[in-house]
Structure 1
Amino acid sequence: MTRLYLPMPGNETIARALALSAGAELGAIETRRFPDGEAYVRLLSAVEGREVEIVCTLARPDEQFLSLIFAAETAREMGAARVNLIAPYLAYMRQDKRFKDGEAISSMHFARLLSRSFDGLITIDPHLHRRRDLGEIFTIATRVEHAAPLLADWIKDNVSDPLVVGPDAESEQWVAAVAGRAGAPHIVSNKTRRGDRDVSIDLPDLSALRARRAVLVDDIVSSGRTMIETARKLSAAGMAKPVCVAVHALFADQSYAELLSLCERVVSTDTVPHASNAISVAALLAPA
């Protein structure tokens, strides 16, 4: 069975790298909006009898979800043998519990919607808290890859005398793995979150570590408040401007510009297209 990679708009670069890695064809999808705002989708490549890999990072999913589903369903109608989703960033995994009466458990609903249109899913570091794996909410085959080794290797190659700084106690194991591979010591902050854009940060004693370059690491940077407040605390402690390294660069509002003003450099993987992209994840998403 031959494989065809179909990128949704904005995903052409990573889809091209995957197709090249797999020795497969890179196809194309035409999308636009009708005057009334409805989505138009057309597959420009033959899919009959083929394994179709639709590539679509799901940052800001509401803007593209219907077009993605239309593409998947059309591929199936046109005779595709399998239709898989490669989503370097997978949205709607955060809300996995009903904290207040009437709240939507959006992770479950989103998983059900995707499971109806796809045969398989590949993603990187989904934002799981109370779930052990995606199989708890998806009814299709799922494969999760982890970017921690890529972050560690980038730190090792680009930062002298690093000190890896994690966002909170929950990240301890992940941060320790990144630091261990990078050959660096690590600490984690004590974070108190009071709202989506309101966090406070406390750091342990840094007196013996001031000569090192702090490297703030996190899986997802959304509001950016955790990294921003940590950078400020480090500055107040007399340390040099830190380097920030993240897996998923969402950067809502003006958070990227604010973080840049506080840091020596801000770096991310290319799971979400962004100016900070410097680490390729294509090798992680290549066919198993």
Structure 2
Amino acid sequence: MMSVLFPLPGNEAFAASVSTAMACELGDMETRLFPDGESYVRLLTPVKDRDVALLCTLHKPDDKLIRLYLAASTARELGARSVGLIAPYLAYMRQDSHFKSGEGAASKHMGRFLSGAFDWLVTVDPHLHRHHSLDEIYSVPTKVVQSAPMIAAWIRENVSRPVIVGPDAESEQWAAKVASAVGCSHAILKKTRYGDRDVEVTAPETGGWENMTPVIVDDIASTGKTMIAAIRHLRAAGIAPPVCIAVHGVFADGAIEEMRAAGAGRILSCNSIVHPSNCIALEEAVAVAAAEFLPRFSAAA
């Protein structure tokens, strides 16, 4: 039988493109809240003896995780052969250590939770800083989609004389890959973080950049403070307004407006999180990755 892909609310357009690319069925699900706030989930497409995937980007995850868990558990209860998760943005990755007394490593706790509900996981560029791979956090097979080729393709088509800028050491893995794919140079800024909204960066040597367009690339833009600090340093050095690209554009609390006020040029993101800044599509690459776990047809078909 053909595999089936269920989008959770807000993920319908992304899931439709993925299901078309994979030639699998796009499932229908009913979700709502009871008057007491509890979640109701009903799978309207049959799942018995079928390979099932749920697609849910985990931006603002606390509003989504219960429905996601109930949908996965319901699919198993109704006889699904396997149940996987496609999460273009994977939450709870940044708290990967004990920074203060009494804290927990939330990334590991979430890894155990999702590994208990799903047979496999596909995501896009998770925030891996103190871990080398998702295998250190998740006990189920995982596949990571790299956004660098899609970002590089956009830059080649839209930016003349680019130089890629990573706003901190953590961003070097993305900046270096993008620069290599574009065929241009890159530089990494040094960041000191004093709090969630208090960031200081030291700009690199910018000599020779007078006729170039800086492209700041980072995996997550949440409050935007890291990018804002980088923008200000570049503008103070007399460099052209930078293009700012986030793999995952959270852009909370007026971040876009602050980035523009700091002197940003164009601000854009991949479509792992639905946002007006989305310019770089990930569905085709996600479909290729998911196809390793979610075959079009079962062996008996």
Q: Secondary structure at the match of 1:204?
A: coil
Cα pair 1:162 1:215 within 8 Å, conserved: yes
For the aligned residue pairs, the C-alpha RMSD in angstroms reads 1.3
Question: 2: distance between equivalents of 1:172 and 1:112?
Answer: 28
| Corresponding residue for residue 220 of structure 2 | 220
Query: Where does residue 76 of structure 2 map in the other structure?
Result: 76
In the superposition, the TM-score normalised over structure 2's length comes to 0.92
Cα separation, 2, equivalents of 1:137 and 1:227: 28
Q: Are the aligned partners of 2:53 and 2:85 in contact in 1 as well (CA < 8 Å)?
A: yes
Cα deviation, residue 101, structure 1? 2.5
The CA deviation string for residues 119-156 of structure 1, in whole angstroms up to 9 with x for no partner, is 11111111111111111121111111111111111111
- Counterparts of 2:260 and 2:110, CA distance in 1: 33
Matched residue, 2:57: 57
- Tell me what 1:201 maps to: 201
Partner of 2:171: 171
Alignment of 1:128-167 (within 5 A): 128-167=128-167
In 2, Cα distance between equivalents of 1:276 and 1:174: 19
| Deviation, structure 1 residue 78 | 0.7
Q: TM-score, normalised to structure 1's length?
A: 0.96
Contact 1:156 1:183 in 2 (8 A): no
SS of 2:143 mapped into structure 1: strand
Q: Give the AA of the match of 2:271.
A: D
Higher alpha-carbon deviation: 86-95 or 180-189: 180-189
Deviation at 1:205, TM superposition (A): 2.3
Unpaired runs of 5+ residues, structure 1, are none
Structure 2 Cα separation of the partners of residues 168 and 58 of structure 1: 24
Percent identity (aligned): 50
Residue 281 (str. 1) matches residue 282 (str. 2): yes
Report the CA distance shift for 1:173/1:35 in structure 2 as closer, same or farther (over 3 A): closer
Report the Cα offset of residue 283 of structure 1: 1.6
Q: Secondary structure at the match of 2:142?
A: strand
> Which 4+ stretches in 1 moved above 6 angstroms?
none
Query: Conserved in 2, the CA contact under 8 Å of 1:149 and 1:181?
Result: yes
Contact 2:167 2:190 in 1 (8 A): yes
Cross-structure match for 2:211:
211
- Higher relative contact order, structure no. (Cα contacts within 8 Å, ≥ 6 residues apart): 2
**Structure 1 partner of 2:295:** none
Structure 1 residue 173: Cα displacement = 4.3
Structure 2 residue aligned with 1:270: 271
